[in-house]
Structure 1
Amino acid sequence: MFQRFESHASPAQHVPRLAALRAEMAARKLDGFIVPRADAHQSEYVADRDARLGWLTGFTGSAGFAIVTPDLAGVFIDGRYRVQVKSEIDLGHFTPVNWPETKPAAWLRKALPEGGMIGFDPWLHTRREIRELEAGLAGSEIALVPVDTNPVDAIWQDQPEAPIGSVRLWPDALAGETAAEKRQRIGAKLRDGKANAAVLTLPDSISWLLNIRGADVPKNPVVLSFAIIEANGRVAVFADPRKFSPEIRSALGNEVTILPPEALTPALTNLTGPVVVDPGTAPEQVFRLIESMKTEIAEGADPVILPKATKNAYEIAGMRSAHLRDGVAVTELLCWLDAQAPRIADEPLTEIDICRKLEELRVAQGILDVSFDTILGSGPNGAINHYHVTEATDRRIMPGDIVLVDSGGQYNDGTTDITRTLPMGEFDQAIRRPYTRVLQGMIAVSRAKFPRGVAGAHIDALARAPLWMEGMDYDHGTGHGVGAGLSVHEGPVRISRISEIPLQTGMILSNEPGYYREGEYGIRIENLIVVEPAESPDGRDMLGFETLTLAPIDKRLIDPALMSSAEIEWFDAYHAWVRTELEPLVSDATRGWLEAATSPLLG
């Protein structure tokens, strides 16, 4: 199976590690050290070797960081993880800090009022991050000190080795463009900007550029690597050469060179400027190495990131195909869960049981891996935004529980991500109101039409408005970018209050408003959508969304009296499409269930 359910170390087991880090800090004459949830590529999902934050603190979320001083150890988490963190860290030694409400510089000023030396690993922080921290500390006596070697690595005796997953080719028929054509396109972009080269630090950018996929990080088929692309389209890749078979090297051609990781530093110090480096994604150390030779840096966005985000017709076709098969698996699961509901009082069913059933159904549809660990929360666990079940937390499903299933798959032609919320038997009718408001937000985004130039921040409000009317909200973004056979969370575009990047045709995003009542239940409904041109009666350049996800949305939790006729029309049309597409593909046992599940809301 793809998902691991083993329990992590108990919170108390991390206390000796904290003491060891403090001893190492003292030996290095540091008054503090920053431990990010990041690797040198700013990956959301990191290899076991780079899971320093989790190893030190016990916190397993996908975003956050810790700052350790001789007296305090703050674990900074955003709204997604404020419930989860309390169960994972030793609250007697680590202190949760609400972030970004509390900025790290403000916290440090209080923690070290007399000043001090704060260490950081310059490979694990971006230049923008360090600049913001320096600006926040301006006028204090606190100094940021880059370290040559990471003190966490020094005390982590059994730290895993760096991964060496094998590289495979991504077919040109799915990419819609050869790697050579992509290299020339990006090279031309550099020439237009009068740059000689660009440093690429994001593994998904490099994997997309070269039409390759990897196996270094579970669930994200990227090749952990750095690269330098020249204005002539030639590329040097810095990664363990053992990842690349002779067949892969031959396919990449003579204009792509594979060099070992240790060759990166001399390569950076021998560049001819101007060199494009992204301050928002590239490590601080990359800037320092280039600047050490007085080479001109042209700060700017990773030149691959937007071309990767704007999928072409071939990539979108692959995503549609993957969603069709994934829709079969999810629909089979929903039918199976409905069949289990009457029996759960007598025949135990747990969260892990459901996860394993879903993986079994996806395997039958050709899944290569899950695209992230399934978030399957029943009852109070559903209120934890990014809850991941373990053997220790596995909860038995009880009659009346609300079950939230957020899951996805990596297929040989695309990536999926879908969330459905459903009741197990008779349920508290009070949930129908917030569930309907969440659904209305999802429908509002799905139906949206907007002029070119509108960003995710504008769309985000559409999803929240029905909840806001009830005095409700949720503490996560409404949507994230999704890769085509790549990372399920893909930058730079988002549907979020803070995203100012204009939406463009071909961008694929999630649409997932939610509502969470701590200790009781969680609600989230998610489809993936792709930006497409939209008609305008007066000829304006308008955009809208096409929905990719295929699976029924539970009707039992809806209060139709709260919905407009236009919303009901969209809902019924969506279900009619789901039924038409999936009916020939699901099992005989599921076909009748699907017909009932997708019948008109008021029928």
Structure 2
Amino acid sequence: MFQSFDAATTPDQGPPRLTLLREQMAREGLDAYLVPRSDAHQGEYVAPHDERLAWLTGFTGSAGFCIVLAGEAGLFVDGRYTVQARAQVAAEITPVPWPATRPGAWLAERLGEGARVGFDPWLHSVREIGTLRAALADGGIGVIAAAGLVDRIWEDQPEPPRGKAHSYPDALAGRSAGEKRAMIAGRLADVGAAALLITLPDNIAWLLNIRGSDIPRTPVAHGFAMLRASGPLELFMDGAKLEGLGDHLGDQTAIMPPDGLVAALSTVEGPVWIDPASAPYATRAALEEAGTQVHEAPDPVLLAKAAKTPAEISATREAHLRDGAAMCRFLRWLDETAERVVAGARVTEIDVVRALEGFREETGALRDISFETIAGSGPNGAIVHYRVSHDSDRALAAGELLLVDSGGQYEDGTTDITRTVPIGTPGAEEVECATLVLRGMIALSTARWPRGLAGRDLDALARAPLWRSGRDYDHGTGHGVGVFLGVHEGPQRISKLGEVPLEPGMILSNEPGYYREGAFGIRIENLIAVEEAQRPDGGDARDMLCFFTLTLAPIDTRLVDAQALSREERDWLNGYHASLPRLLGDRLDPETRRWLEEKVRPI
């Protein structure tokens, strides 16, 4: 099994650790200190060595940060984590709604002229610190680099990760590492940059056709890289991770010690291209100190990685077929288990997680889960990114809903799927809300739009049915997804903030939801990919794009009010369901195939 159910810091451990941090702040002459969730690579998932926010506060969500003052500590979290934050942290730590409340404004209300706000220059991006300094400048509040304050008090902090890396087949990637380097180097030449600093491990993994094992759930190796416009690349990474990869990396890649990056930045000839959204502030400071010209723009690897090659799309289709068969086996098990629960058996959320991970593991191809499995029963389903622990584990109960959000990492693809299942007979309100969520998901699945539109232009399609009933959800509708890389991948996304135009080959999630705090949560999620839409007849027809669905698993029709669906919506659902026995049938045992055929009967 892959998932641990141990709790992180308990709420009572937070206050004494805050006291230790405040002692460090006083020694540095700081009035406030920022503690982020992110590591030096701005990753969503971090190694145990970098779990500073969780260690200090107890909050285990994948996004957020804490600002510690002498008499107050604010935990900044978005709407996904409001309920979770309140449950995980001590009363001395106050959850703050973010981004509705900006850290600069929050600090300006609490600090006076001459105050000093500290931050670790390796754990915050160039843009983040620039924005904070601009917000505090009028108040005369300084923002001061102060590295490692949490590390000084974390006595049993785990060692940095040193996982082995391995090569990724060109046949699955669709391009060799040399072809990718040449493509990106050409973009440097286009803007007159002499070098590109790459700080995101998934960008390095994609560029060099390697995968790693430094952190759970995302197969990357921690390190930095600098690509020259002439083609060679310097890889600042522990050589022990890369043992046996010399031939794969080739003579155009030089392996350098990790601690050599600052020295290299102090001598490189510019202009150096950095991405201010992800490059650590320390790297920009090193370039400035050396007097090196800097070109700030989004890392060009991001878009190149996001638009998948035909080989990557073909590979991820196979991964979704495999994963879909495992999901069918799990959903059949869950149906049978729900009957036992209604009859009085005790089955808990941890039992559900273990069963699902077991079915994926039985494929023989699973490398890891793609994130911590969410199995929220009843009110726990309303916690958007709920993670069950031994302390929170809850028994399934008749008449409640169970929300299961999960995924797998396979060499040929990354999966992410959510299904909501009734335990016994669902209530009328649950059916009404689930039907609205489904209608939103179908609206996005069937969308067609002119080339050039971004995720923000499509986000409202998924929300419209809920909006008409006065409901909504406090998370984006879709995130980008990699191929045996991050389950959350930028820059593409479907949300009110999604500004990057969608392009063929991009993979995204389609996951509207509805959450009633203290009662239930509903989310239905498929992965979808962008492709060119068939041009209709007519000389003035514009180039259009559309989605095709990758995820293959039944949607529970016990939560669907068929009369509330339009003919087009029923046709989509029935057509999607009709495809499942055809695509998955040969991968299923006879009992599961019979279950599936019954489960997907037209409505």
TM range (shorter): over 0.9
Q: Structure 2: how far apart are the matches of 1:10 and 1:138? A: 37
SS of residue matched to 2:464: helix
Q: Structure 1: how far apart are the matches of 2:529 and 2:200? A: 23
The normalised TM-score by structure 2 is 0.98
Deviation digits for residues 394-449 of structure 1 (CA, Å, limit 9, x no counterpart)? 10111112000000000121100000001011221221111011001100000000
Partner of residue 241, structure 2: 243
Q: Structure 2: how far apart are the matches of 1:418 and 1:342? A: 23
1:322 to 304, 319, 322: 319
Q: Structure 1: how far apart are the matches of 2:104 and 2:271? A: 32
Q: Structure 2: how far apart are the matches of 1:413 and 1:447? A: 26
Deviation digits for residues 434-475 of structure 1 (CA, Å, limit 9, x no counterpart)? 101100110000000000011000110100000000000000
Q: Which amino acid aligns with 1:22?
A: R
Between stretches 581-590 and 401-410, larger displacement belongs to 581-590
Does structure 1 residue 334 correspond to structure 2 residue 331? yes
The 5 A counterparts of 1:528-547 are 528-537=527-536, 538=538, 539-547=541-549
Deviation digits for residues 110-167 of structure 1 (CA, Å, limit 9, x no counterpart)? 22145410100111111111111112112102110011x3111111111111000000
Q: Structure 2: how far apart are the matches of 1:206 and 1:256? A: 12
The normalised TM-score by structure 1 is 0.98
Deviation digits for residues 75-103 of structure 1 (CA, Å, limit 9, x no counterpart)? 00000000001110001x11111111111
Deviation digits for residues 371-402 of structure 1 (CA, Å, limit 9, x no counterpart)? 00001100000000000000111101111120
The 5 A counterparts of 1:121-160 are 121-147=120-146, 149-160=147-158
Q: Structure 1: how far apart are the matches of 2:348 and 2:374? A: 13
The 5 A counterparts of 1:350-499 are 350-365=348-363, 366-499=365-498
Q: Structure 1: how far apart are the matches of 2:65 and 2:282? A: 19
What number of residue pairs does the alignment pair up? 598
Q: Structure 1: how far apart are the matches of 2:520 and 2:588? A: 30
2:298 to 297, 301, 308: 301
Q: Which amino acid aligns with 1:175?
A: A
Partner of residue 102, structure 1: 101
Q: Structure 1: how far apart are the matches of 2:242 and 2:104? A: 43
SS of residue matched to 2:586: coil
Q: Structure 1: how far apart are the matches of 2:279 and 2:352? A: 39
Deviation at 1:13, TM superposition (A): 1.3
- Residues 265, 286 of structure 2: 8 Å contact kept: yes
- Residues 8, 55 of structure 2: 8 Å contact kept: no
Does structure 1 residue 73 correspond to structure 2 residue 109? no
Runs (4 or more) in structure 1 with deviation over 6 Å come to none
Deviation at 1:346, TM superposition (A): 2.4
Give aligned-pair identity as a percent.
Answer: 53
Q: Structure 2: how far apart are the matches of 1:251 and 1:352? A: 41
Q: Which amino acid aligns with 2:321?
A: L
Unmatched runs of 5 consecutive residues or more in structure 1: none
The 5 A counterparts of 1:545-564 are 545-564=547-566
Partner of residue 597, structure 2: 595
- Residues 72, 111 of structure 1: 8 Å contact kept: no
The 5 A counterparts of 1:504-523 are 504-523=503-522
The 5 A counterparts of 1:191-230 are 191-230=189-228
Q: Which amino acid aligns with 2:266?
A: T
Partner of residue 37, structure 1: 37
- Residues 405, 416 of structure 2: 8 Å contact kept: yes
Q: Structure 2: how far apart are the matches of 1:115 and 1:338? A: 63
Q: Structure 1: how far apart are the matches of 2:296 and 2:367? A: 37
Q: Which amino acid aligns with 2:550?
A: L
SS of residue matched to 2:426: coil
SS of residue matched to 1:83: helix
Unmatched runs of 5 consecutive residues or more in structure 2: none
Q: Which amino acid aligns with 1:122?
A: P
RMSD in angstroms over aligned alpha carbons?
0.9
Q: Which amino acid aligns with 2:466?
A: L
Partner of residue 270, structure 2: 273
Deviation digits for residues 570-598 of structure 1 (CA, Å, limit 9, x no counterpart)? 11111111121111211211111100111
Q: Structure 2: how far apart are the matches of 1:556 and 1:346? A: 21
- Residues 372, 387 of structure 2: 8 Å contact kept: yes
Q: Structure 2: how far apart are the matches of 1:188 and 1:37? A: 34
Q: Structure 2: how far apart are the matches of 1:433 and 1:499? A: 29
